[in-house]
Amino acid sequence: MILDISSIRKKVFVATILVFFFWISAPRCWAKVTGVCSNCHTMHYSQNGGALVAWGSTGPYQNLLVDTCVGCHSNTSTETIKTLGSGATASRVPVVYNTVEPTYPTTPSANGPSVTLAGGNFYWVEKVGDQYGHNVISHADAVLTEAPGRNQGCTNSCHYSLYSWTFPWPNSQGHGCTACHTPAHHKGGSSTPISDEEDGWYRFLAQRHGTSNDRNIKGLEDPDWQQSVSPTDHNEYWDYYVSGPGGVYGISRFCAGCHGLFHSTRYGPANGGFYAGAWFAAPWLRHPAGIYFPSTGETSKYNTDGTGPEGVPGPYNPLAPVGRQNIDSYTAPSSSVTVGSGGDMVMCLSCHRAHGSPYPDMLRWDYTTCQAGTPNSSCGCFICHTEKDQ
Ligand code: HEC
Ligand code: HEC
Ligand code: HEC
Ligand code: HEC
Ligand code: HEC
Ligand code: HEC
């Protein structure tokens, strides 16, 4: 037999293309739980005549679960992803509350089993002080008796306290977790990486009441919840702002569900608290959020040393991330950032962690080290205000 090298090459080529095709078309449905039912459910809340040590001790729980939200999503070691069960049928749980201090990622690239996930961690608000996070787990905030910037009524609601008042679904053991999350642990499974209703939205974040979809969140979910993170390895956030009242969507609008005035960057007493004038331009009365980066000025040089030309931003920096206006075309995280009217947005999560951080007001970096005229690569303000450290 004569060896036909070119035909072998062709076959290898075709096989490579096929492998690549199956790789990119393979479903990436990270939000959906995996593992055997008994990792998470118990039919009678009883085994050998009692509750197992691995279960929560205050059951039985709704949905026949073995624990509460906090019980499953917390850990007594520093590891921020834990497992339930063992071997090939184990389930991987993202941890939001470590009872011993986890590692906070202070650089744009961080890695390791104890690095806090994208939302930060409830450790600091539980163990250090109320100002370090949303008070959800064991006690109400001693200082804040309502969400700062609150402009919605709903007396005796999560607009006042995430601890004392909880949504009835899925269980009264939900704590304030369910004020923000609409859990859908068995949803997902589409081949698109974009989370929408079928996929349990982005991180189960959906509107809690009302009829509009403005707080249903889309995004691209990092498979390890940013336990490892870099400019090319991160979540993608959706933030969107159509000019005028009623035209706001995305993650900043989500936070504004409880902190309304802080999204209304041009509301002020002079306007009677209502929208007046252009949304996208200075003067700002509060720091903009849900606003695209202008194509001129220092912020158009996002994540550069600020000495280059205007309108030319540097790469995505997970220390001060940006939101994307149109996320539907994303299939992988992107390191590129764009400015101008169709470009990327400054959002609440550019400066804050959703759950908590080692810094007051759950900021992403130590604000007290941000000194004008003093370069400091760990101060997030300088990532956008590229000339203020000069
Ligand atoms: C890794 C944890 C985990 C595993 C494994 C798991 N579940 Fe669940 N399940 C949950 C959680 C958490 C809920 C709470 C409700 C929600 O988020 O939708 C739930 C809710 C449910 C519900 C009620 C809500 C619904 O979607 O219908 C059913 C039924 C259910 N699970 C069945 C199962 C069965 C059957 C298995 C095994 C084949 C299983 N679960 C495996 C965590 C798990
Ligand atoms: C029995 C254990 C268990 C309970 C109880 C539980 N979860 Fe989960 N949860 C999980 C696991 C496991 C995952 C990871 C699923 C995966 O692999 O993506 C998860 C994932 C999540 C996520 C991230 C979803 C994503 O897109 O990555 C959120 C948010 C969440 N849970 C919130 C809650 C809330 C709120 C409650 C209480 C109402 C709750 N969980 C109760 C086990 C649990
Ligand atoms: C469901 C209502 C609700 C949503 C949604 C919400 N918050 Fe809050 N937030 C509160 C309440 C209530 C407080 C005051 C009590 C506390 O700290 O828990 C608060 C406090 C804060 C604080 C001050 C923390 C402190 O103790 O000093 C910051 C910062 C904050 N929220 C940022 C955000 C960001 C960013 C988002 C969006 C990811 C968000 N919030 C979404 C209800 C909410
Ligand atoms: C104030 C709103 C809010 C509350 C309260 C809240 N979360 Fe979250 N959570 C978020 C947001 C926003 C994200 C997405 C963070 C990101 O991607 O930067 C998130 C992300 C998560 C994730 C994915 C891991 C991560 O860090 O990104 C899990 C799991 C989770 N939340 C569970 C919980 C549990 C359990 C509770 C209650 C103890 C809770 N959350 C309370 C808003 C909230
Ligand atoms: C440019 C960074 C930045 C952005 C964007 C941002 N914040 Fe803040 N936020 C801060 C800083 C810094 C503080 C500390 C107080 C101050 O300097 O005003 C703070 C404080 C807060 C507080 C506590 C206020 C109090 O009275 O204790 C809340 C609540 C809050 N922010 C919510 C939000 C929400 C919601 C959004 C999006 C609509 C948002 N922030 C966007 C930087 C930011
Ligand atoms: C993710 C990017 C980003 C981060 C991080 C950020 N800013 Fe901004 N900031 C902006 C943008 C964009 C504007 C609007 C700029 C414009 O209109 O030209 C702005 C506007 C401002 C203004 C008003 C400027 C004016 O023209 O009125 C101040 C003051 C300000 N930021 C301070 C801060 C401080 C302090 C921090 C750190 C706590 C911070 N910013 C973090 C993007 C950011």
pLDDT at 249: 80
Minimum-distance ligand 1 atom for the alpha carbon of 38: 5
Minimum-distance ligand 1 atom for the alpha carbon of 72: 12
* Distance, CA of 134 to chain centre: 14
Higher-pLDDT residue of 38 and 341 is 38
Confidence class for position 283, pLDDT limits 50, 70, 90: confident
Ligand nearest to the backbone CA of 72: 2
Dist CA 351 CA 127 (whole Å): 22
CB atoms within 10 A of CB 87: 8
Mean pLDDT of 34-60: 95
Higher-pLDDT residue of 264 and 118 is 118
346 domain residue, yes or no: yes
User: Ligand 5, atom 6: nearest CA belongs to which residue?
Assistant: 348
Ligand nearest to the backbone CA of 68: 2
Higher-pLDDT residue of 244 and 218 is 218
Minimum-distance ligand 5 atom for the alpha carbon of 288: 5
Query: Which parts of the chain fold into alpha helices (H)?
Result: 5-25, 69-72, 123-127, 177-180, 251-256, 348-351, 381-384
Evaluate if residue 374 carries a pLDDT over 70: yes
Query: Where does ligand 5 bind, in terms of residues with CB under 6 Å?
Result: 148-149, 252, 255-256, 259, 262-263, 287, 289, 346, 348, 350-352, 361, 363, 367
For 259, the domain range is: 129-390
Question: From the CA of 209, how far away is ligand 6's center (Å)?
Answer: 32
102 domain residue, yes or no: no
Q: How far apart are the first and last CA of the chain?
A: 73
Confidence class for position 13, pLDDT limits 50, 70, 90: very low
pLDDT at 194: 61
Evaluate if residue 257 carries a pLDDT over 50: yes
Dist CA 385 CA 101 (whole Å): 31
Dist CA 7 CA 63 (whole Å): 57
Question: From the CA of 389, how far away is ligand 6's center (Å)?
Answer: 13
43 domain residue, yes or no: no
Ligand 4 pocket mutation, candidates 84, 171, 202, 355, criterion most atoms within 8 A of CB:
355
Mean pLDDT of 78-84: 97
Q: What is the pTM of this model?
A: 0.93
CB atoms within 10 A of CB 79: 17
Minimum-distance ligand 3 atom for the alpha carbon of 125: 26
Dist CA 146 CA 148 (whole Å): 6
Evaluate if residue 270 carries a pLDDT over 70: no
Confidence class for position 12, pLDDT limits 50, 70, 90: very low
Judged on CB neighbours under 10 Å (0-12, 13-18, 19+), 338 is middle
Q: Is the CB of 287 under 6 A from ligand 6?
A: yes
User: Ligand 3, atom 42: nearest CA belongs to which residue?
Assistant: 147
Question: From the CA of 381, how far away is ligand 4's center (Å)?
Answer: 24
Higher-pLDDT residue of 26 and 296 is 296
User: Ligand 5, atom 42: nearest CA belongs to which residue?
Assistant: 351
Q: How many domains does the chain have?
A: 1
51 domain residue, yes or no: no
Tell me phi and psi for residue 94, to 5 degrees: -70, 130
108 domain residue, yes or no: no
Write the pLDDT tens digit of every residue in 336-371.
999 998 899 999 999 999 999 999 999 999 999 999
122 domain residue, yes or no: no
Query: Where does ligand 1 bind, in terms of residues with CB under 6 Å?
Result: 33, 35, 37, 39-41, 63, 65, 91, 170, 183-186
Encoding tokens for residue 119? 């939302």
82 domain residue, yes or no: no
Classified as helix, coil or strand, 15 is helix
- Residues 6 or more apart in contact with residue 19 via CB below 8 angstroms: none
Write the pLDDT tens digit of every residue in 153-183.
677 788 888 988 766 544 445 568 988 998 8
Write the pLDDT tens digit of every residue in 175-211.
689 889 988 899 865 545 566 666 788 898 987 776 6
Of the ranges 24-28, 174-178, 216-220, which one carries the lowest mean pLDDT score? 24-28
pLDDT at 19: 37
38 domain residue, yes or no: no
pLDDT at 167: 63
Encoding tokens for residue 390? 């000069």
Tell me phi and psi for residue 186, to 5 degrees: -100, 5
Q: Is the CB of 177 under 6 A from ligand 3?
A: no
List, as one string, the DSSP characters of 85-122. S-GGG-EEEE-SEESS--B---SSSB-STTB-BTTB-S
Q: Is the CB of 65 under 6 A from ligand 2?
A: yes
Minimum-distance ligand 1 atom for the alpha carbon of 93: 1
Minimum-distance ligand 4 atom for the alpha carbon of 97: 38
